[in-house]
């Protein structure tokens, strides 16, 4: 059985990992015959958002503690992830990717990413192990992979331009489809960058996770 590491960025679309995408990633990995283990960085979130009204809250939350909600407590510190223990890697989306795992939400093409994330993704890439990036997560591929890496966030022109500034080649993609860079074993799908429902998000994530396991 193939074993996949999943990196979460908190809990909640506006300040952490997108919950639907995270759960669908787990579901479709299991359906494809793989097992998984969740990880998250033990750091404070950039900020906390009230998901009822979208307003910032005057409190601090920890990314690992919040991500543990999605993982039902079965989660480890990202710093403990050993690439040798896994066959593939998956990163669901949500604003936590662009706020906690990086500062892409604020700096776009001038962004930086969390050192632990960069090191982990590069290690998977160097061992020729596939990585699936979901939703906004493909915006980070230019920080990690060779120049010209093909990936998609759907069809948003501004985000695509920022990806290009970081060295990636953006490919427009429908919500229910995937883009695969066969040379670098990188898979991406738009999910809630385009999805209007959980079923739409599920269609692309299912294809992405099935392909991820096939490449592993």
- C-alpha separations of 164 from 76, 110, 133, 167, 171 in Å: 33, 11, 16, 5, 10
CA dist 145 and 117 (Å) reads 12
11 in catalytic set: no
* Cβ 43 vs Cβ 62: under 8 Å: yes
Q: Active-site residue among 11, 121, 135, 173? A: 135
- The set of residues, in sequence order, having a beta carbon less than 8 Å from that of 75 and lying 6+ positions away, is 8, 37, 38, 39, 40, 64, 67, 68
Within 34-114, where are the H helices? 63-70, 95-99, 104-107
CA dist 108 and 173 (Å) reads 20
| Residues tagged active-site | 135
């Amino acid at each position: 059985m193939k074993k996949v590491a999943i990196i979460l960025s908190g809990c909640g679309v506006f300040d952490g990992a997108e919950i639907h995408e995270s759960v669908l990633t787990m579901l479709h990995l299991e359906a494809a015959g793989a097992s998984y283990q969740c990880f998250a960085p033990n750091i404070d979130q950039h900020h906390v958002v009230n998901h009822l009204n979208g307003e910032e809250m005057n409190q601090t939350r920890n990314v690992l503690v919040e991500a543990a909600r999605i993982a039902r407590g079965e989660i480890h510190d990202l710093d403990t992830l050993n690439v040798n223990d896994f066959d593939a890697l998956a990163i669901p989306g949500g604003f936590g990717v662009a706020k906690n795992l990086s500062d892409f939400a604020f700096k776009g093409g001038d962004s930086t990413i969390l050192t632990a994330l960069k090191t982990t993704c590069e290690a998977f890439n160097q061992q020729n192990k596939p990585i699936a990036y979901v939703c906004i997560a493909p915006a980070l591929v230019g920080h990690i992979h060779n120049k010209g890496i093909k990936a998609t966030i759907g069809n948003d022109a501004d985000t695509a331009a920022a990806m290009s500034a970081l060295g990636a080649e953006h490919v427009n993609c429908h919500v229910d489809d995937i883009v695969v860079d066969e040379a670098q074993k990188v898979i991406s799908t738009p999910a809630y960058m385009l999805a209007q429902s959980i079923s739409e998000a599920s269609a692309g994530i299912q294809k992405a996770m099935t392909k991820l396991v096939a490449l592993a």
